[in-house]
């Protein structure tokens, strides 16, 4: 089954200054996902992905690798109730 799924994801490691957010916007947009991505002041990247379960799960898996310059140490994903709207975009650092 391919039910809609929305998750809140935190990515830890060398994920800022390596084009991680830009890569995320491209990858999520190519998949047709809704949501957003932003840097956090503590060095992590935060994202919300919403779409078909299999597509969201594939995006989470790809986040464990990220763009070529990234060095991801940990990715956590939890269910999220906020509906992110249409499209995928980058938000300001929080």
21 is annotated as an active-site residue = yes
Q: Evaluate whether 18 touches 69 at the Cβ level (below 8 Å).
A: yes
Q: Which of 2, 31, 34, 39 is catalytic?
A: 39
The question of whether 39 is a catalytic residue gets the answer yes
Active-site position among 21, 34, 38, 64: 21
- The span from the CA of 37 to the CA of 20, in Å, is 9
The residues carrying an active-site annotation are 21, 39
């Amino acid at each position: 089954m391919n039910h809609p799924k929305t998750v809140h994801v935190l990515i830890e490691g060398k994920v800022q200054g390596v084009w991680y957010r830009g890569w995320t916007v491209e990858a999520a947009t190519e998949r047709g996902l809704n949501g957003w991505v932003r840097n956090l002041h503590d060095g992590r990247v935060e994202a919300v992905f919403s779409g078909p379960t299999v597509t969201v799960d594939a995006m989470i898996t790809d986040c464990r690798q990220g763009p070529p310059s990234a060095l991801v140490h940990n990715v956590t994903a939890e269910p999220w109730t906020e509906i992110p709207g249409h499209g995928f975009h980058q938000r300001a650092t929080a």
